[in-house]
Amino acid sequence: MSTLGNISNQICAYPYKLIWAAIPVILAFAFFGMNDSIDLILHDTYLVIGIFHVGVSISFLLFLLGGIYWQLRNRNMTCWLTVLHVLITLFTLIPTMVLLMVCAKVPLIADGWLMVLIVLFFIGIFSQFALVWNIFQSRANF
């Protein structure tokens, strides 16, 4: 139990370090799938998305998110909300990148996993409200 407490305290104290440490992982997946693309058909729109571009975009968003946490490092933010936000964000973005690579390599399973990708994407988007809530709550306590 103390190990989980230590991990939780480290994430709470330095969330930007964990977020920035995930950037090379995402970029590694992007470089491995550099020449792959995924084809999506949404209603009457046909989209072709390069895996490399998705990885670079996710890495840029993680860089910005880590920068926000770095700017707010002296604020008294709620620990459980910070840990929840960081873990949900990372555990939705990294599996999304892995599933995109799998769907690009094996196009026959892309249709079945498209709903999983969409659900992971929306969970990741809605988890960003935890950061906004944490910022406003810490501002009231500041």
Here the CATH number for the domain that contains residue 64 is 1.20.120
Beta strands in the chain, from DSSP E residues, in sequence order: 37-42, 45-50
For residue 107, what pLDDT is reported?
66
Average pLDDT of the chain to the nearest whole number: 83
Question: What would the pLDDT profile of 28-54 be if each residue is shown by its tens digit?
Answer: 888 887 777 777 676 777 777 788 888
For residue 49, what pLDDT is reported?
78
Identify whether the C-beta of residue 39 lies closer than 8 Å to the C-beta of residue 110: yes
> If you average pLDDT over residues 83-96, what whole number do you get?
89
Domain range for 99 = 2-141
- DSSP 3-state assignment of 61? helix
For residue 138, what pLDDT is reported?
81
| Residue 36 dihedral angles phi and psi, to the nearest 5° | -95, 155
For residue 140, what pLDDT is reported?
67
For residue 102, what pLDDT is reported?
76
Identify which has the larger pLDDT, 41 or 137. 137
Structure tokens at 134: 């944490």
Identify which has the larger pLDDT, 102 or 110. 102
Picking from 23-32, 94-103, 107-116, which range would have the lowest pLDDT averaged per residue?
107-116
Q: What is the C-alpha to C-alpha distance for residues 9 and 79, in angstroms, rounded to an integer?
A: 8
Q: What is the percentage of the chain residues whose pLDDT exceeds 70? A: 89
Q: What total number of domains does the chain contain?
A: 1
For residue 30, what pLDDT is reported?
85
Residue 60 pLDDT > 80, yes or no?
Answer: yes
Q: What is the C-alpha to C-alpha distance for residues 19 and 11, in angstroms, rounded to an integer?
A: 9
Query: What is the enclosing helix (H) or strand (E) of 127?
Result: helix 110-141
Q: What is the C-alpha to C-alpha distance for residues 141 and 76, in angstroms, rounded to an integer?
A: 7
